Amino acid sequence: MKNYKYLLKEAESPDAYIEEVGIEDEEVITGDYEKVFVGTHKVRWKLKGKGTLWVYYLESMVKESWEIEGDFHIFSVVKPENYTYLKREVRSKGKVRWGTLVLGESELYSHYSLEGELEERGIAFLKEETIRWESTLLHAQPHGKSYSHVRALLNKGSHAQIRGLIDIGPEASDTNSYLEQHVILLDEDSHAFTWPALRIKNNQVRASHSSSISKVPEDMIFYLQTRGLTPQEGISLLAKGYLESVMPSEKLWEKVIGKL
């Protein structure tokens, strides 16, 4: 594991930090920023203002609490050496876009309490590995918006359990929320289960969900072959498109290739 530069730019006094992360990147935050370790494997984040933040998870267990106020784009990369357990409790006011990439054996539990907007996009690439991924989108206030889209590409006997819940309270009128879960099986030995769910206590809302578990569409592979691509190249092209929908992919693509 190497040390990389962790650069924080705040409104008044930019400071430089050193953290151990898996990929070199720059975080830019304008406003108030706080990251406090409150115990073994426990982290408290406070963000206020706007900006972009990259977070890397290499440990076996992380429990986080987030308080977010403003407009933020957060990228999370989960790349464990063996296994990662990640639990996030998020309270958000404003507009948050959250992209998560998983490259290994993991359990992820995210609970979002929302006043404003959330766009959650996640993708897992697994090879001989297992993942359990759960997201809860809780709306207790009116005029909320949320969108959660989690994908997984499974190879070499991998297994995925993906659960999602939209929970709209009685006071959360005029809320619009959508939940998607889609899994692609790259071999006969991989398996998956998806459980999208709705809990609605207000009639003046829009909420829906969709899910699918499928193999790579043969018609798509055939079409790509007519364009001179091999089936493996076609799968790689599909995977890269999924990754790019979640986060910038150039520095991460080489790590994804090994899972296909």
Domain boundaries, the chain: 3-217
Best CA proximity match to 171, nearest among 94, 112, 115: 115
Cα angle: 123, vertex 125, 128; to 5 degrees: 145
The answer for 64, left when phi > 0, alpha when psi is -120 to 50, beta otherwise, is: beta
Q: Tell me the mean pLDDT per 10 residues along the chain, length 260.
A: 30 31 39 58 82 78 89 87 92 94 95 96 95 97 96 96 97 96 94 96 95 86 83 83 79 76
pLDDT given at position 51: 79
Q: For the whole model, what pTM was predicted? A: 0.84
Contacts of 244 (CB under 8 A, 6+ apart): none
Residue 230 phi/psi, 5-degree rounding, is: -80, 165
pLDDT given at position 100: 94
Per DSSP (E only), the strands in the chain are 3-8, 15-20, 28-39, 42-57, 61-78, 84-102, 106-127, 130-139, 145-155, 159-168, 176-185, 191-200, 206-215
Specify the 3-state DSSP secondary structure of 40. Answer: coil
pLDDT given at position 27: 44
Rounded Cα distance, 18 and 35, in Å? 13
Contact (CB, 8 A) for 186 and 214: no
Contact (CB, 8 A) for 125 and 260: yes
Residue whose entry in the numeric block shows the structure tokens 């115990």:
39
Best CA proximity match to 162, nearest among 198, 187, 200, 134: 134
Specify the 3-state DSSP secondary structure of 59. Answer: coil
